[in-house]
Amino acid sequence: MKVVLAKDILKSNDDKAAENRRAFEKLGLFTLNLISSPGSGKTRLLENTVQRLSSRYRIGVIEGDITTTRDAERVARHCEQVVQINTDGGCHLDSKMVSRSIEELSIDKLDVLFIENVGNLVCPSEFDLGESCRVVVLSVTEGDDKPEKYPYSFDRANVIIINKIDMLEHTDFDMARAEEIIRQINRDAVLFKLSAVTGEGYDAWIAYLENHAFRKK
């Protein structure tokens, strides 16, 4: 019974995600779904990224949180179109929530849409939102064993970002080992190593976004 219903939920989510994807593709809108543990630095990454792109690209953000509008407020400083989704305890965003949110945005006037998922390295991975690109963020303070322990998140990522590299010297995170494990799980993902604090590694990430958002400009 439980399994049947779970399949129904996922099927219904996939259908709506396909609908979202068609709408995004029709507009040539590059959409990114950001997934990570709480506190791995998604919001700060987003703030800095939007700040760097906002003079040249029209950017929208959907902020997913269990409660509070803190992240949306932070991002809104650098970006005009922001929608907050509060899941009220829910552990992930789904494609229906995103579908309702894009009705509140003028997505035909956007070049890039970021969707910051609920801070959770497990459940969001099951739910396609219709995004063009799935980004999984891992911070070095979480430990280099996380890709191996949460493989179902890492194996579906198009982009994997190792964040907080400025903290490397204060941890026992082994970058070579982390990369090796990531490559065993996901050979194709584009990998970025960066620090939102020092700005190190951002240029490659920004260049990647520009290459993909370029379609529309």
| Residue 150 engages its own copies in binding (rule: CB under 8 A) | yes
With 0-12 / 13-18 / 19 or more C-beta atoms within 10 angstroms meaning exposed / middle / buried, residue 2 is exposed
Residue environment code for 83-96, b if the CB has 16+ CB neighbours within 10 A, otherwise e: bbbbbeeeebbbbb
| Residue 121 engages its own copies in binding (rule: CB under 8 A) | yes
Task: Tally Cβ neighbours within 10 Å of residue 183.
Answer: 13
| Residue 38 engages its own copies in binding (rule: CB under 8 A) | yes
List the structure tokens of 80.
Answer: 């005009």
| Residue 141 engages its own copies in binding (rule: CB under 8 A) | yes
| Residue 148 engages its own copies in binding (rule: CB under 8 A) | yes
| Residue 120 engages its own copies in binding (rule: CB under 8 A) | yes
List the structure tokens of 198.
Answer: 């020092």
Nearer to its own copies, 111 or 144 (CB): 144
Q: Give the angle subtended at the CA of 43 by the CAs of 92 and 211, to the nearest 5°.
A: 95
| Residue 28 engages its own copies in binding (rule: CB under 8 A) | no
Contact residue for its own copies among 48, 132, 139, 186 (CB under 8 A): 139
Q: Report the site for its own copies in 53-92 (rule: CB under 8 A).
A: 65-68, 70-71, 89, 91
Report yes or no: 54 and 79 within 8 Å, Cβ to Cβ.
yes
Residues near its own copies (CB under 8 A) are: 1-2, 5, 9, 37-40, 65-68, 70-71, 89, 91, 118-123, 139, 141-143, 145-146, 148-152, 164, 167, 170
